[in-house]
Amino acid sequence: MSSNNNVMQTDILIHNVEIVNEGRAVRGYVTVSAGMITEVGEGDAPEVLMSCGEVIDGRGRLLLPGVIDTHVHFRDPGLTHKADMATESRAGVAGGVTSFIDMPNTKPPTVSVAEVENKMRRAADVSAANYAFFIGATDKNIDELKRADYSRIAGVKLFMGSSTGNMLVDDDSMMRRLFAEVPALIAVHAEDEALLRSNREAVTARYGEDLPMEFHPVIRNHKVCLTASRKAVELAREYDARLHVLHVSTADELQLFTPGSVAGKRITAETCPQYLALSDEQYGMLGSRMKCNPAIKRPADRDALREAVRIGLIDTIATDHAPHLLEEKRGTALTAVSGMPLIQFSLTLMIQMVQEGIFSMTDVVEKMCHNPARVYGIDRRGFIRKGYYADMVLVNPDCEPYTITDSWVLSRCGWTPLDGLSVGNKVDMTMVNGKVVYRHGVLFDIPGAAMELKFVNMR
Ligand SMILES: [Zn+2]
């Protein structure tokens, strides 16, 4: 192929940019054609590429693989007064998220292949980012779980604990069958239901029902998490199942995991930016805005989770983006709903922690881009590599400081737990399958830009 042909075929060149990828940050260039990455080079781009379709000067910017947020609740269908796939996927791309995996606790719940397909059709119509879905485990749907196609479904979501009543699997024999028989990654919400209930009873007996938010992590305490996580890990070991423990929130649970790279691990772990940035010292200020399940715990937990991210005890960072209206967030530690929106600012918040010296940029890319692709076996995404889909995000790592406010929020709920936070970085541009879907505060609706995720090397 002559270089002239090459020029003809190149749609976009991004050059003069610091590419953060696979453990290194290197000044170089990337070309994109027909939705794919066609060239990744170091140093100056060859002169011949300067005349291609669009040339983007990335001076002073970082180019990262698009964020893959593998834990979101987009509330669609059935709870669309809070959020839907169109609004939340747009909030995502504005924050550098190019792919998401959505959880099954919608209305109706996603506990059959037919319901997953309904979501896929909806996403194909309206999503701005690439999409995939979990199928939820119930006490009754083991046969459905066994025959699902896990090249199109991300895995099975198992709720241990009361976060989502209708999908709660507390039946021991059913859990054993799930780990033994279902040929998929099992992603678990691990909080022990019986302990949770007895904690709630003990606390209300002593202090009454009108409990301030500080009681949330007293009810959903360390033991609630560790008991359930340990049980899930023991079952996974017994049956050699592929387990991903979601939103790890305590130092105590870290003993269950192994440090280092994802390669070869059968048991992996996720945490979320809120557990890395916040602690129970903030309940007084943020109140129910930071109420989520599992609860945000002590500064010592936050610090241990930070270290766990650095040494690979924690493999992925996802948001658990769980929008609710502010009026639903009113109430006490018992009555305010749990969950917060975060997808639009998760990358910004993590880069802020890089600037504070807590993480490195390569930690952030590893945990938010590379490892989500590795853990779930996502086909040709999560890396800036020739032959991969052109999902990328251009970040200004050192902009004029600005303050995040509720008024910026693109999620339907219209608020963020980060309201009032001053940050010094921002997402300049997001590219999904080679299409620029967000640039300098403007969203571009490009029909068909987003694609369904495919999964390879499952379980
Ligand atoms: Zn969740």
State the pLDDT at residue 271.
Answer: 99
Write down all domains in the chain, each with its CATH number in brackets. 3-63+386-443 (2.30.40.10), 67-376 (3.20.20.140)
> Residue 435 half-sphere exposure, CB side, CA atoms within 13 Å?
17
Q: Are 3 and 31 in contact (CB under 8 A)?
A: no
User: Consecutive 10-residue runs of the chain (459 residues): their mean pLDDT?
Assistant: 51 97 98 97 96 94 99 98 98 98 97 98 98 95 96 95 59 89 97 93 97 97 97 97 98 98 96 98 97 98 98 98 97 97 98 98 98 98 98 97 97 98 98 98 94 86
Report CA(175)–ligand 1 centroid distance (Å). 19
Alpha carbon of 104 to ligand 1 centroid (Å): 9
The CA 273 to ligand 1 mean position distance, Å, reads 13
**CB distance 340 to 88 below 8 Å:** no
Angle CA(27)–CA(33)–CA(34) in degrees, nearest 5?
145
Predicted TM-score (pTM) of this structure = 0.96
Which of 320, 363, 391, 428 is an active site residue? 320
- Our answer to whether residue 445 is catalytic in this structure is no
320 CA from centroid of ligand 1 (Å): 5
Tell me what pLDDT residue 2 has. 40
CA of 71 to the centre of ligand 1 (A): 6
